[in-house]
Structure 1
Amino acid sequence: MSNHDTVVPHEDYGFFGPDSVSWKVFLYPTALSIGFQRTVVTEMYEPFLLASVNDTGAVSKRPALRYDRTLQYMATVTFGDSVSVLKASDILVKIHSKITGTEPISGLRYDANDPEAQLWIHLTAWHSVLYTYEKFGPGKLSPEEERQYWVECARAAQFQTIDIADVPCSRAEMRAYYARMRPILTATEATQQHVEQLLDSASTLLPDSALWWPVAKLTQTLFRKGTIATLPRWMRKMGGVHQSPVTDALVTVLLRATFRLVAQSVAAQRFLIHTASPLTAPITDPILCAVAPKNPVVWTPEAARAHHGTVRPTDQYAQIRAARAEKTLPEHAAADGSAPLLPFA
């Protein structure tokens, strides 16, 4: 792991910057660890998303690589410079354009770029990161910080094929969104298999060696129990996972103390990110080390797209659908999650 002097600065602050609430929440060590694990577990209950994950086999065949790539994208949108974010957004839409198929229960088509599917992915991430920050970290944001957090959530949604009007603007609207989604959510045998695998996935992010084995098993146990402790009872029942209130309380205390300790050390945070997600490290290192970007400016999505000459993901998706209708794009293809989102030197 490099020292502070060799950390490569970003070109600019991207779309949030040091005064944003997003940086405050996503920079806390809960975000890219248990917050991320809660995200991917929760996502599996949406049947069309599950069908795409099950068909590609990305989670089951290459769990460590899929985690690394997805963490890379999440960190890029929050902490990366404007060029990196726009590039990641463009590539993500192109990768998702290859992921279409049939949801087996309803017989309806799924499309990974579908705005509703992307909204579910985006909101489960931003809600899970905030929820774990509150539960295992410093606690609730102030009312003003919380309002700003949801404003920034909508800003980040502009890098996916999401209708921004559908993004919740408050905690109450987020609850209403979950209430709307709950009748749609399901749990099949495939759901339970993926939930089970993802609950135990923390150990796959650490080196596979005898030296790391005790740490990997302890991390797996704590993250599994901690993630379950954040899930509502109905979701646990659907997913076939069970845990007592006593265990919920104990693991919450343990994880809160652990994350507080890690948060006090930049070196510890960098070490854990370099170990668990090497692709994410170049994105978070300049932020953790307080290395100023070459151009200390925060962009809006509109200004950055005009400056760099890129199109909105919604427009990009419209072009993809038009090409598909004309049969110039394949109607169904599989993507296994191994395609790189960003080439970091």
Structure 2
Amino acid sequence: MDPDDDLGLFGPGSVSWRVHASPIMLVAGLRSLYLQALHPRAIAGVAQNSSYRADPMGRLGRTSEYVVTVLYGTTAQAEAAARRVRRRHAAMRATDPLTGEEFRLDDPELLRWVHVAEVESFLTTALRAGLPLTPAEADGYYAEQRRAAALIGLDPATVPGTVAEVADYYAEIRPELRITPDAASTFAFLSAPPIPTPGTSLLGGLPLRLLVNLGPPRLLYTGIAGLAVSLLPPWARRLYGLPGLPTTDLTAALSTRALNLALTQLPRRLYTSPHHKAALARAARLGIPTPA
């Protein structure tokens, strides 16, 4: 296939392109990290194998690069990125903090948890920001994202593919989730990490120098982190010892809409990743309309 004709795993007509078009995805990415940390083995695997404390923005940048490559890259680019991730995971081991048992980071149960927590964070944040999706389209997003799950080695049939299936999955796995020392440490770190140097790009391509220019970076980041936490499911907030009240959900939705509205007033070139720009250019050459 001519690379100029390859719109990747999803394409302009997908729900996935609509969900990920907004710069509010930077909040969604942070929300997913808070949520993933509640799984004892998942966070132990990160703590024992990752350099996120020494280079937090570097790790976030690499994760962001992978996400946008899978979303907007050609099929070959997405598959190549996934092969690199699978090779890294296959070589990594960690020790369960509760049982002392050694486990592999490419254990399907862990991969499924990370995948579901990530895509549910993306969809929930987009909906709270005001993206108009029908229930069928919301289900369609989860079904589409099974393609991303397959790339990392999961059987798509074992991955929740609808809103109801994601809710059932959370209900099933919640007894396994808890605050461990690694989770508490990660929560504190995510809430107040070292401020990176200007020029670093966050999820979705939004340059940090732009955030710095908007005001004191620490105060701004604290607000974004607080919003990400408030967007967590009530049961997840309660696990962190925070209020799980319905009023928090309402406040989070209003704040997310306000932030999304402010960010989308910026020129799109400031928050559109290179992979997204390349995909839009390929679609334009083919005469295929793209989401506004």
**Is the shorter-chain TM-score for this pair beyond 0.5, marking a shared fold?**
yes
Matches within 5 A, 1:1-345: 12-31=6-25, 33-139=26-132, 141-201=133-193, 203-204=195-196, 206=198, 212=213, 214-241=215-242, 249-250=250-251, 252-265=253-266, 267=267, 269-272=268-271, 281-287=273-279, 290-292=280-282
The 3-state SS of whatever aligns with 2:103 is strand
**1:51 Cα deviation after fit:** 1.1
**1:232 Cα deviation after fit:** 2.9
| Corresponding residue of 1:331 | none
**Are the equivalent residues in 2 in contact too, given 1:12–1:297 (CA < 8 A)?**
no
Task: Report sequence identity in percent.
Answer: 27
Computing the radius of gyration from Cα coordinates, the structure with the larger value is 1
**1:297 Cα deviation after fit:** 11
Q: TM-score, normalised to structure 1's length?
A: 0.72
Structure 1: unaligned runs, 5 residues or longer: 1-8, 274-280, 299-345
Classify 1:271/1:108 alpha carbon distance in 2 versus 1 (closer, same or farther; 3 Å).
same
Q: TM-score, normalised to structure 2's length?
A: 0.84
How many Å separate the matches in 2 of 1:13 and 1:111? 33
Classify 1:124/1:297 alpha carbon distance in 2 versus 1 (closer, same or farther; 3 Å).
farther
**1:163 Cα deviation after fit:** 2.0
Aligned residue pairs total 277
Deviates more, 1:52-61 or 1:13-22: 52-61
- Whichever residue aligns with residue 108 of structure 1, its letter is E
- Whichever residue aligns with residue 116 of structure 2, its letter is L
**1:292 Cα deviation after fit:** 2.1
How many Å separate the matches in 1 of 2:271 and 2:193? 15
**1:17 Cα deviation after fit:** 0.4
How many Å separate the matches in 1 of 2:83 and 2:70? 12
The 3-state SS of whatever aligns with 1:58 is coil
**Are the equivalent residues in 2 in contact too, given 1:202–1:216 (CA < 8 A)?**
no
How many Å separate the matches in 2 of 1:46 and 1:83? 32
**1:25 Cα deviation after fit:** 0.4
CA offsets 1:88-130 (integer angstroms, 9 cap, x no match): 0110011112210211211222211111111111111110000
The 3-state SS of whatever aligns with 2:53 is helix
How many Å separate the matches in 1 of 2:139 and 2:55? 37
Structure 2: unaligned runs, 5 residues or longer: 200-207
**Are the equivalent residues in 2 in contact too, given 1:89–1:159 (CA < 8 A)?**
yes
Classify 1:203/1:270 alpha carbon distance in 2 versus 1 (closer, same or farther; 3 Å).
farther
**1:230 Cα deviation after fit:** 1.3
How many Å separate the matches in 1 of 2:240 and 2:4? 41
How many Å separate the matches in 1 of 2:146 and 2:130? 23
| CA RMSD, Structure 1 to Structure 2 (Å) | 2.9
How many Å separate the matches in 1 of 2:242 and 2:198? 24
